[in-house]
Amino acid sequence: MADIAAPFAFDPWEHFRVQRAVSRARGLPHFAYYGFAIAFPLALAALIWYGRSQQPDPRPLGLGELWYLAILPGAVFIGLPLLQLRAAFTHLRQHRVPHTAHTISVSEQGVRASCVAAASEVRWEALHKVVETGEFFLFYYAPKCAFYLPKRALSDRDAQTVRLLAHTHAGDRSTLCAPAA
């Protein structure tokens, strides 16, 4: 099987989409995080309502008394994505080495990420998992950290080869489209 080397330019918008894909791929902790952002303010509102209903002269709750409960969901659903987007552009602005082409190489030995500043290689046995999304192949070298390979940098044949390599070497640690027979 041929090795695949795919060069691509760093794009902050793409980096932002990768961050979102990695956070979505976490599964239950991700759901629990967003669930907390909704459940906690609702629980506080229920406690406030219950406390009011136990008073001798209960008044109905007004929006003016509960507006601050929208701060946590607003911070999670609006603030977190904005912080991730800011981080992508800050990375581009503050990086000491000019952002030239990054290259992700996929071979029988593993996955190698390189640019003009550094190179890193992870063998297949050390990868936690491999995930294919609509735009990327994500090669997780830690539970929350991944090399990403944009599909825009691959031909259809190369993408199929990456799927086959991942399926062959990562096995049940891969979430991919089925490789061609």
- For residue 5, give Cα distances in angstroms to 13, 101, 102, 111, 127: 22, 12, 10, 10, 18
pLDDT at residue number 178: 55
pLDDT at residue number 121: 94
Can you spell out the DSSP letters for 82-126? HHHHHHHHHHHHH-SS---EEEEEE-SSEEEEE-SS-EEEEEGGG
Distance of CA 24 to the CA centre of its chain: 5
Residues 54-75, mean pLDDT to the nearest whole number: 74
pLDDT at residue number 180: 46
The string of pLDDT tens digits covering residues 163-172 is 999 988 888 8
Strand 119-123 vs strand 145-150: parallel, antiparallel, or unpaired? unpaired
Contact at 8 Å (CB) between 18 and 164?
no
pLDDT at residue number 19: 80
Does 23 score more than 60 pLDDT? yes
Radius of gyration of the chain (CA): 22
Domain architecture of the chain: domains with CATH: 4-9+101-175 (2.30.29), 23-94 (no CATH)
Q: In whole angstroms, what is the distance from residue 22 CA to residue 144 CA?
A: 7
The string of pLDDT tens digits covering residues 26-45 is 665 656 666 777 777 778 87
pLDDT at residue number 84: 81
* pTM across the whole model: 0.69
Residues 125-135, mean pLDDT to the nearest whole number: 90
Between 179 and 104, the higher pLDDT residue: 104
What angle (nearest 5°) sits at the alpha carbon of residue 66, between those of residues 61 and 72? 155
Question: Which of 121, 127, 107 has the alpha carbon at shortest distance from 170?
Answer: 127
**Summary mean pLDDT of the chain:** 80
Does 162 score more than 70 pLDDT? yes
The string of pLDDT tens digits covering residues 134-155 is 888 999 998 888 889 999 999 9
> What are the residues whose beta carbons fall under 8 Å from the beta carbon of 175, sequence distance 6 or more?
129, 130, 131, 132
The string of pLDDT tens digits covering residues 83-93 is 888 888 887 77
Residues 67-86, mean pLDDT to the nearest whole number: 79
Q: In whole angstroms, what is the distance from residue 90 CA to residue 87 CA?
A: 5
